[in-house]
Chain A
Amino acid sequence: MSTITPIASTRGINQELAENKVTVEIKPDEEKAHVSAIWEQVQEILNQSLINSGITKQRVETTEPEKEQTSGKILVAPGIPMGNKEYEERFGNIDLEYYRKQMPPELFKVFVRHAGSIPGKPKVDVVELTSDFEV
C-alpha cells in the first residue's frame, strides 16, 4: 500500500503533521504528455494514502495546468505540445479557449490536432489548388 508518511517526515513537515495538514507539491513530468485521467488517478491515490495512514481527512488539491509551457512548448490539449511559432501560425488569432469550452474534450483535442497541421504560406490559394483536379 502506498503511503506518504516517510516522505513527509524526511521533508521536515512535522509541524504541519501536528496541525493535521500535509502539503504535497506535484510537478508534472516534463517529458511526458499530460492526460487528465492519469492526473486524477494520481490525486486519488494521494488522497487515499492520506486517509489510510490516518494523517488527515483533508483532501489534497493538485491542479493540472490548462495551457502549460514545457520545454518552451505550449500544451494546446493533452498530448498536443506546440512550439510558440507554430502555435502563433495556427491559433494566434483564434480564440481557442472559447472552442475548448464549447467542444467535448476529445473533440477539441482532434480539432486542434488537425487544424492548420500542414504549414502553408500566405500566397497559398486553396481554391486554385483544389480546382486543378478538374483539368
Chain B
Amino acid sequence: MEYTDWQPTMTIQSPVYLDANVLVGTTVSNHPLYQSCVKLTAAILIAGVNVVISVLSLDEAMWAIAKLSYCQLTNNPSKTHWNKKIYEKWCDQIFENHGSWITAVYEMVKDWKNAGVDIDFAPSIDSEYGEVIAKAPDYMRQFRLTPADAFHLAIAEKRAKTFITADSDFSKLQRNLPSGDLTIIHLPKPLHHENSPAR
C-alpha cells in the first residue's frame, strides 16, 4: 500500500473508493475542506473512473448530516456530543427543518450514476463480505482503527486501487504499510483560505 496527501495534479487510479467524509464534504458548502472535496470529485467525474461506494459510507453520511442539522438547529459546533438519545429527541425537528438533507449524499451518487458515471456498490457478493469481515479485525488490532475505519480500509483493499479519505486516522498505516497495490489518498485541511479559482 501507499499513503499520500492529495494534490490537484495527481493521477487517480481506477477504481476509486470514497470515504463518507469526502461525500459529505462535497455536499455541504462553506467548510474548510469544501473546495478540495469539490475539486477532487470533479476530477474523478471528469476522469471517468470507476467509483466504488459502500453502504457503510452512505450510512455514515446520513448520520453525519443528521448531526449537522442538530448542530445548526442548536447552534453547536461539529464536535458537540451526539448520540442515539439526542437524535431521537431531535428527530422530528431535524426532518421538519432539513428532511431533504438526510438523503442528499445518496441522491448525489444516484444522479451521478444516472448521468453515466461508472458507480459500483460494495461489498456486492457473499465472498466479498466474507473477505472484508475477515480482514477488518486485523486492521483494528494492527493499526488501532475503529471498526468503521477498518471496514472502509478492507472494502477499499478488496475493490479499489485508490482509497480517498479526509480522515487523518489512516496516517497510522504509514508506520507499517500493509502489502498490496492500494493507494490511500488523504485530503489534508487547507492551511489557509483558498482565494484563487479552483480546477
The reply to whether A89 and B38 form a contact with Cβ atoms under 8 Å apart is no
The reply to whether B79 and A125 form a contact with Cβ atoms under 8 Å apart is yes
A103 at the interface (CB under 8 A from B): yes
Interface residues on B, range: 35 or more
The reply to whether B31 and A125 form a contact with Cβ atoms under 8 Å apart is yes
CB neighbours of A133 from chain B (8 A): 20, 59-60, 63-64, 148
B167 touches which of A94, A98, A127 (Cβ 8 Å): A127
B196 at the interface (CB under 8 A from A): yes
A111 touches which of B45, B59, B61 (Cβ 8 Å): B45
A126 touches which of B31, B72, B116, B198 (Cβ 8 Å): B31
CB neighbours of A115 from chain B (8 A): 26-27, 29, 38, 41
CB neighbours of A106 from chain B (8 A): 115-116
> B34-67: contact bitstring with A at CB < 8 Å (1 yes, 0 no)?
1101110110011000000000000111011101
B24 touches which of A90, A109, A123, A129 (Cβ 8 Å): A129
The reply to whether B82 and A132 form a contact with Cβ atoms under 8 Å apart is yes
A30 at the interface (CB under 8 A from B): no
> A50-90: contact bitstring with B at CB < 8 Å (1 yes, 0 no)?
00000000000000000000000000000000000000011
The reply to whether B104 and A130 form a contact with Cβ atoms under 8 Å apart is no
Q: Which of B105-113, B120-128, B172-180 contacts A (4 or more CB under 8 A)?
A: B105-113
Which residues of B approach A to under 8 Å, CB–CB? 19-21, 24-35, 37-39, 41-42, 45-46, 59-61, 63-65, 67-68, 71-72, 77-79, 82-83, 98, 101, 104, 107-108, 111-112, 114-117, 146-149, 166-168, 194-199
Pairs across A and B, CB under 8 Å, 22 listed: A103-B45, A104-B116, A110-B108, A114-B26, A116-B38, A120-B28, A120-B30, A120-B34, A121-B72, A122-B31, A123-B31, A123-B77, A124-B28, A124-B31, A125-B32, A125-B78, A128-B79, A129-B65, A130-B167, A131-B167, A133-B59, A135-B83
For the A-B complex with A113-B111, A127-B168 known, give 6 more contacts whose Cβ atoms are closer than 8 Å: A102-B42, A103-B46, A104-B116, A107-B115, A115-B26, A133-B60
